């Protein structure tokens, strides 16, 4: 897969025959991916392709070992031949996901079903050039561990804003990066496409991509990431909201207390100074004199330590105050949280709802769900994997032409 444009279903005019064939194959593969244990008849119904086309495509995909076919249990079928059911063949295709954070980065090799096969850690280095060189070495090792044609792409998550054209991180406050040419440095020397986005956007994408299997897919929701500040990934009508210049979702820097604390961004009273992981650990340090991680605060709270419980309560209150603006302004069906809030879910859920109910008219809260991330500490990593997969399967939020420019493809 070297050309994304070749499978753009929305392309004006006639598609080349090979592109059409590839597009139909992807359509069938995506139907199988989204609906485990699908029969050929169901594929035809879902994709709109004729039964004979589906049979032809399925045969070719099976021959290429991209899908596996099995018969359903005979016991359930008294009359006639039982239909065969189809699944993506695990390990047939691969992607690499990269999650860059100030606490260290991770690079994962996953197959196209989203199963992570190998994860490697890369230590933080304050010099972006040094860090990116180390990351490049690891990415290259994982990409070249598989035959080139079986690696679909590399997805990269960074907690910062991107210049999509220059493929540069323009500002990552928590990394201390300004105008760092991330994509050009990571893409050197191997021939697979490289895609990138903000970590909060990708955390949202990962939830949507992997949660959708077998469950009702979320169309409008906000992923609130609380590690290293607060970022929000906003999915509207199934698409990641990037904004005019790729900077949408920086709700972490909305003002919660105008006369409050100085934020790393230079402004005063930002939401993330009150509800992020660093806000929680600072609260705990101020109350106990002890410097511990946010997960240690959570673990002390589960042991019943009053100071830890009070800090969680206060952080949850401030988190919910910020969420009120998101819920009132965006009308999401769900808010998904990660980091300390997901880890302390049983301790803080009630408090979050209490604040929301106090602050938001009941009719505006109707139908809204709050939930912890399905991916715990791996949300952005799964999102980076999902990004590379979305580009291959060509569905959901990255299929629209106006969004195509927001993603970099390498070696195309
Ligand atoms: Zn700020």
Q: What is the pLDDT of residues 136-174, one digit of tens each?
A: 999 999 999 999 889 999 999 999 889 888 899 998 988
Cα 237 to averaged position of ligand 1 atoms, centre (Å):
28
Of 369, 343, 345, the C-alpha closest to 356 is 369
For 169, phi then psi, to 5°, come to -80, 115
Cα 99 to averaged position of ligand 1 atoms, centre (Å):
22
For 379, phi then psi, to 5°, come to -55, -50
Half-sphere exposure of 94 (CA within 13 A, CB side): 20
Cα 261 to averaged position of ligand 1 atoms, centre (Å):
9
Distance of CA 210 to the CA centre of its chain: 9
Cα 258 to averaged position of ligand 1 atoms, centre (Å):
11
Residue 73's pLDDT is what? 65
Beta strands, E only, 322-407: 334-337, 369-372
Residue 335's pLDDT is what? 96
Cα 272 to averaged position of ligand 1 atoms, centre (Å):
7
Taking the C-alpha atoms of residue 139 and residue 322, their distance in angstroms, rounded to an integer, is 37
Tell me the pLDDT band of 399, cut-offs 50, 70 and 90.
Answer: very low
| CATH number of the structural domain 212-378 | 3.30.420.40
Q: What residue spans define the domains of the chain? A: 5-88, 94-205+380-404, 212-378
Q: Is 70 exceeded by the pLDDT of residue 376?
A: yes
Cα 378 to averaged position of ligand 1 atoms, centre (Å):
24
Cα 242 to averaged position of ligand 1 atoms, centre (Å):
19
Taking the C-alpha atoms of residue 225 and residue 210, their distance in angstroms, rounded to an integer, is 17
Domain with residues 94-205+380-404, CATH architecture: 2-Layer Sandwich (3.30)
Cα 267 to averaged position of ligand 1 atoms, centre (Å):
5
Is there a common fold for 94-205+380-404 and 212-378? yes
Q: What is the pLDDT of residues 13-69, one digit of tens each?
A: 555 677 788 888 989 998 998 887 788 889 999 999 999 999 999 999 999 999 988
For the chain, percent of residues with pLDDT exceeding 70: 88
Tell me the pLDDT band of 215, cut-offs 50, 70 and 90.
Answer: very low
Tell me the pLDDT band of 81, cut-offs 50, 70 and 90.
Answer: low
Cα 218 to averaged position of ligand 1 atoms, centre (Å):
29
Q: What is the pLDDT of residues 310-337, one digit of tens each?
A: 999 999 999 999 999 999 999 999 999 9
Residue 74's pLDDT is what? 60
DSSP single-letter state for residue 397: G
Cα 168 to averaged position of ligand 1 atoms, centre (Å):
21
Residue 129's pLDDT is what? 96
Residue 409's pLDDT is what? 34
Tokens of 4: 């994304």
Residue 76's pLDDT is what? 60
Cα 224 to averaged position of ligand 1 atoms, centre (Å):
15
Burial of 367 (C-beta count, 10 Å sphere; 0-12/13-18/19+): exposed
Cα 252 to averaged position of ligand 1 atoms, centre (Å):
7
- SS3 (DSSP) at 293: coil
For the chain, percent of residues with pLDDT exceeding 90: 68
Cα 263 to averaged position of ligand 1 atoms, centre (Å):
4
- Is the sign of the CA dihedral 207, 208, 212, 216 positive or negative? positive
Please give the helix or strand (H or E) that residue 118 lies within, else none.
strand 116-122
Of 278, 282, 153, the C-alpha closest to 226 is 278
Cα 340 to averaged position of ligand 1 atoms, centre (Å):
20
| CATH number of the structural domain 5-88 | 1.10.10.10
Mean of all residue pLDDT scores within the chain: 87
Taking the C-alpha atoms of residue 17 and residue 38, their distance in angstroms, rounded to an integer, is 27
Q: Is 90 exceeded by the pLDDT of residue 394?
A: no
**Torsion angle in degrees (nearest 10) through CA of 26, 221, 103, 315:** -170
Q: Is 80 exceeded by the pLDDT of residue 245?
A: yes
Q: What is the pLDDT of residues 169-191, one digit of tens each?
A: 998 988 999 999 999 999 888 88
Cα 339 to averaged position of ligand 1 atoms, centre (Å):
19
- pLDDT higher at 90 or 217: 90
């Amino acid at each position: 897969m070297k050309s994304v444009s070749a499978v753009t279903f929305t392309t004006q005019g006639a598609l080349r025959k090979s592109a059409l064939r590839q597009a139909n194959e992807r359509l069938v593969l995506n139907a199988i991916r989204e609906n485990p244990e699908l029969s050929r008849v169901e594929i035809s119904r879902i994709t709109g392709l004729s039964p004979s086309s589906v049979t032809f495509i399925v045969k070719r995909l099976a021959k290429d070992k991209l899908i596996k076919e099995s018969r359903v249990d005979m016991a359930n079928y008294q009359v006639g031949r039982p239909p065969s059911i189809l699944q993506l063949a695990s390990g047939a295709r691969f992607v690499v996901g990269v999650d860059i954070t100030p606490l260290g980065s991770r690079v994962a090799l996953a197959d196209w079903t989203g199963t992570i096969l190998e994860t490697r850690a890369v230590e933080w280095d304050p010099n972006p050039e040094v860090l990116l060189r180390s990351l490049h070495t690891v990415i290259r090792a994982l990409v070249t561990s598989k035959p080139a044609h079986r690696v679909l792409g590399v997805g990269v998550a960074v907690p910062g804003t991107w210049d999509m054209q220059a493929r540069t991180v323009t500002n990552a406050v928590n990394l201390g990066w300004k105008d760092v040419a991330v994509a050009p440095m990571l893409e050197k020397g191997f021939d697979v496409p490289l895609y990138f986005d903000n970590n909060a956007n990708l955390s949202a994408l990962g939830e949507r991509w992997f949660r959708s299997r077998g469950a009702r897919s979320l169309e409008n929701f906000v992923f609130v990431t609380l590690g290293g500040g607060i970022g929000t990934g906003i999915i509207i009508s199934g698409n990641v909201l990037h904004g005019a210049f790729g900077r949408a979702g920086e709700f972490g820097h909305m003002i919660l207390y105008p006369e409050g604390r100085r934020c790393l961004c230079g402004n005063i009273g930002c939401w993330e100074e009150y509800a992020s992981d660093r806000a929680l650990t600072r609260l705990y340090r101020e109350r106990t004199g002890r410097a511990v991680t946010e997960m240690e605060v959570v673990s002390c709270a589960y042991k019943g330590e009053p100071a830890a419980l009070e800090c969680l309560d206060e952080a949850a209150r401030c988190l919910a105050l910020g969420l009120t603006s998101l819920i009132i302004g965006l009308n999401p069906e769900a808010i998904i949280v990660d980091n300390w809030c997901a880890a302390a879910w049983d301790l803080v859920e009630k408090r979050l709802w209490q604040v929301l109910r106090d602050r938001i008219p009941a009719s505006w809260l109707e139908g809204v769900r709050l939930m912890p991330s399905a991916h715990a500490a791996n949300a952005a990593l799964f999102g980076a994997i999902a990004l590379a997969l979305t580009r291959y399967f060509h569905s959901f939020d990255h299929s629209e032409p106006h969004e195509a420019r927001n993603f970099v493809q390498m070696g195309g």
